Structure 1
């Protein structure tokens, strides 16, 4: 059975592509709805995940519902979006469980999302497993190398956390973060890639852990709203002065969230 997955989150699409399930994929933020016709026609049901309100995506939702096929509509944040879920044509409990699979992310969960919807909506009888839970935050890799600056034993290398979204981690989309950490290492610092679901309501243990760094570079929103215009804007990274290396000044750059 084929499920069309329309998501404004590229990590959803990466994870679905890496799964063994039969998905048709598109990002509605970058694709004209007219181009969905073949995708929707070939699918047995549709899952749509939008980072925005029902009003922003009214035309897209109406186009999907007009197919007459079962539809699950979800929000793009970690927390369920009741206003979007109400646009679903399946029972709200099924939509809520579907959100859990996507909020946790990764190929295994996208595989089981397909099995879950095939079983509960399309009545395939294939069976399914519950969502695999991932830690809210963690290190992509442990820091390596000497702590002192070469030839300057009285000055230690600044330790820099590079924060990125957990969704990127579970989707395996981490090359850009590792490249940035490697560049920090090459420049005389210690780059530590660290994934997290959010900084807007960060757990206490993450805050305590971050206190041990000299500076942070973040591609994760620390404040602000959750309703970007399409296409979603990139979020600014932030970096502070590295106090143990006077020659290194603070910079800012932009990276996708």
Structure 2
């Protein structure tokens, strides 16, 4: 099942088209893409038996962030050993947690304005919470995940490191710095939900390529570690970290410029395309 936000309305993507959930369910579920996670079990049961034969063509440019207004955004730093190494840090013993502010979220295509600074890319798998999770055991962590989507943790390194200690959340929360999409894909769609390829290309050149099996803290481990401190709420998202290949870690360091196109992919979900424009 692939859940998306089409021009602000909740849809299911199927057979190359989109099915409007409010209309297909006879009003049982509303049009708000965010609200569906509060009724995730009920919605998943309905969708499993729904007639999706009424899929209509749509424009990819009309897709928005599939989770447009999460109450909590968790982002994990240094969650791949190779990225920790290229960043000059030791492999963490505990998850490095920060947030991206909701106003940074945007959809899977379009223009992103570049502020002054050194703006970098970070492809990430994003986990979407489907059930309230509090003090969850790692063995049950996947049970609380509605699905997975693609994210970019775009980061201005100047703002991030402008003062000690680093201000991760500020440097990663400019408008458009949190692209997500094109859809939330349920776990049953993946041959192995613990080993998924992800990567990104800049102007046609591969910058990052990794596998989620190389994460230091897996998705269920993150659900357990985060929920040990506070409840994870339906519709929350977890940016799970990035593999090696970020611009700051290259020699010489490379950052995004006006006119660049960034293509971000996660196998089994799809891709995002963004062009960077002047502020």
Give the TM-score category using the shorter length: under 0.3
* Larger helix proportion of the pair: 1
* Larger strand proportion of the pair: 2
With the length of structure 2 as denominator, give the TM-score of the two structures: 0.23
User: Relative CO higher for 1 or 2, CA cutoff 8 Å, sep ≥ 6?
Assistant: 2
